[in-house]
Every structure is written in structure tokens, then in C-alpha cells.
Amino acid sequence: MNCARCGACCTSFGVCITPSDIVRISLATSMRPSQFVDTVQDYPNREREEPALFIDKEKQILVLKRSKENVCFFYSDEGCKIYHYRPLLCRTYPFGEGMKSMCSRACPSEWAPEGSEREQYGHDIFLYEKELAEFQKFAKEWNSKGGGSLSKLLKALLSP
């Protein structure tokens, strides 16, 4: 069974993003990161591995903005408006390392990609783990300097 593209994952909770996601989405949409990047407060025992950053003196996690209906900024009745440029978290959900299902709270069915879809997931999981490792290094340095505002963070993430 393949992903049903029902949107349950897009409408259930926030989408954590990496600096690479921000660049990719910004280039593809011509939007400034401030138009689609938001933060949520870090909390103990969360299931995601994206690093928390000191933003305005609080530990925050980078996420895609959500609408007033609490739906992903890029989700519509027709589905994902940035599907080909979506964050790697979206590309790999609900799977983790080794293609093990991650007991999704949003996905209404269990499914396992096969053939070329499985190869693509494997490739995307590899890229995501690489991006997370790079993001962890950036976060450690950012946090060691005391952090800053979201606009300062976005400038630092986008500078060469």
C-alpha cells in the first residue's frame, strides 16, 4: 500500500525544517524565509531530532508556518503546494532509519513503499540524516554564542 496523500500528516502537527529545506523552498517559491518559517517552543521528550535553537532567549524549533486553522502553510484542498520542494521530513515521513515505520500519530494506515518508491525513500532518509548532522553543528555553534532573533538566525542560515 502506498501513501494515500490524505493530508493527515499536513493537518495534524507542525513540520520541522532544516536550513537546507528553507533554502530549497525559498528558491523554488521566490518567497523570503520569513514568509514561511516559524518557531515553536522546544519541549522535553519530543519525538523529532531537529535541534532546538536559542531564539529570543528561548529554546525554539524551526517549523513551517501554519494557517489560523492550524494546517501547514503550504497545504491546500488539492494537496501540498510545494510537493516537489517539500521538506525532507515530509519526504521521509513516517519512516526512520532502515525504513522502519515510526508509529505515526497522524498516518491513518500502515504502508510500505516498494520498488523505486522504496529506493527514493532510502535516498531521502540518507539526505535527511546528513542535513540533520549539519544542522546539529550549526545549532551547537549558534547556541554557544547565545543565539539571537529569528531574523538574525535566518540571515545566518542563508549566508555562505
| CB crowding 40-59: b at 16 or more within 10 Å, else e | eebeeeeeeebbbbbbeeee
Q: pLDDT of the chain along its 160 residues, tens only?
A: 456 677 777 787 788 999 999 999 999 999 999 999 999 999 888 777 789 999 999 999 999 999 888 889 999 888 889 989 999 888 887 765 555 555 566 676 666 777 888 888 888 889 999 999 999 999 999 999 999 999 999 999 887 6
**Cell numbers describing residue 156:** 545566518
pTM (predicted TM-score): 0.86
Residues with Cβ < 8 Å from 65, sequence gap 6 or more?
35, 36, 37, 38, 73
**Cell numbers describing residue 113:** 513503499
